[in-house]
Structure 1
């Protein structure tokens, strides 16, 4: 952005409404969504699949699919109205101010171009060329903890593991030193060990770069460790928001309570109850919602909830879209705590591996992947 001074907030979304055109009519996906992310702040956006989280990310950078349209509201990025940027200004903003890491790096990276070329191109667009661009690319791969960056530069994306692909995607996102970094489910396809490494990397880079982060996830445990504040999205509406520690330790919306009950807790004993489930389903895309969107799935819902749409109540530094926010934690469990898991009978193994070895040939060297 060309602003000489930083805006108070890195991102401001005000009364944002988005619709997808399906079968000849607009179907609402986001409904009057408002949120802000301060400079250097990490904001988590959580909710079930289908709540509209990824649509928020795509709308911020005006990258909606062809059938998507913004039907109301405004988006301000570092003080500039994204809605009013022409094509050139929008391209420049994407190149210089905001970067996005998608949940599937295998699709985000170009499969026909080597990793090094994809990364150096970013520096070339910024006016750095030749060996200087290559050196910057190698340094960036080192920064995201890739131990053999020169070798990785020569590979195609399919020759890298999922974790390595995501590190490359993060390196590309950070190459332009963005003021706003959007992470859309960045660890969804990774195993637990690699996920922990990538999250640790993101946390470290955040401290180094002081970038603002919009972290989109359905994994509440990850958000609790990564974000300063959290917003809970349901049916395209913000139903709860506040400091992450406060919201997760003292939720004031039944949906947030239900989500947290689905989260395994460290040291939980069998007599402390099983993980819960949320009955029912999200309202469909474009559903006409005139009452509480969560009423059909909420055991606390009464006639008022089914006939009126609750406002966002300001509870002093936090928000809740619930008439009964004061008793949200009294939400009855969908899974009774006294139901014991059914023991599984011992069975013969269906697969046994003994003394397995696997070696790959690479650049004239044998690389042993599995030994005995």
Structure 2
């Protein structure tokens, strides 16, 4: 058996993690006191952590998203944003993450007069400070930023331009997020066309709550580089009779046109096992199609989504997958290399991390 302590030793790559979904409960309390925010549902760090975990465990994406009202409310100043970003890097480094792309929506942090540019600059300062501290402690990590536009709003083109303006300063891509139902990716074609015109990277939250139509739009109309979640691509796969998600292989599985396209194009799936259960994208971890997609050779990656709400870490996600599907170090190395290949940093940097950090790190674990 592989323990969570052993998983912390593995070099991990994280592509789907929300800054406002990963605060330390104690930091939420501190920032609330500093900013005068008095609507928190608990008064101690332990109670607050429990509240977030319970509130997020609703089986509904819309209800899950409501928990962010509290974290976003305390992230409205430069100092708060910088602190949260720095602590994010520290926490990821302590968990053995060697590369991460952390996303957030700048448009949600303007309530106290900050500009979009000031918001992004504050977060990037925090990331840089966290990286410097991690290096000093012998746990180097590279953290880059994805800027997100809210899919129910009308600022996606503006946020896409922000991503391009900061792409040489730590922002490596663009994203849209929020409730999928009623807010299809095609509403934001202008932003995606702008990103393609600028030869810039983007990912799209799709196939989490709304299913195949959102995946189809994201890949066929919008031209996404990656799928945020994408778990519902399983709806376009017909398994042989009697097959279960935990099977060792799936001979005879038939893929529909969308699933075939996603696999053929090697479009990465930013799968978030624990979160996918909490939001109702899948019924349980036992029902999660991760193993099916991995065995059918989709480009699967392991992610946390929201570490606070899901009470998780990358090490915990590895441990859960090990317990559920029996994965070993060779499997986790493959998933990690998948993620590093799919990162939005330049090819030489991806190759360096694969050859100099990830493969040697797993070689030690495999003995």
Structure number with the higher helix fraction is 2
As a proportion of its length, which structure holds more strand?
Answer: 1
* TM-score w.r.t. length of structure 2: 0.30
Q: Higher Cα Rg: structure 1 or 2?
A: 1
Between 1 and 2, higher relative CO (CA 8 Å, sep ≥ 6) is seen in 2
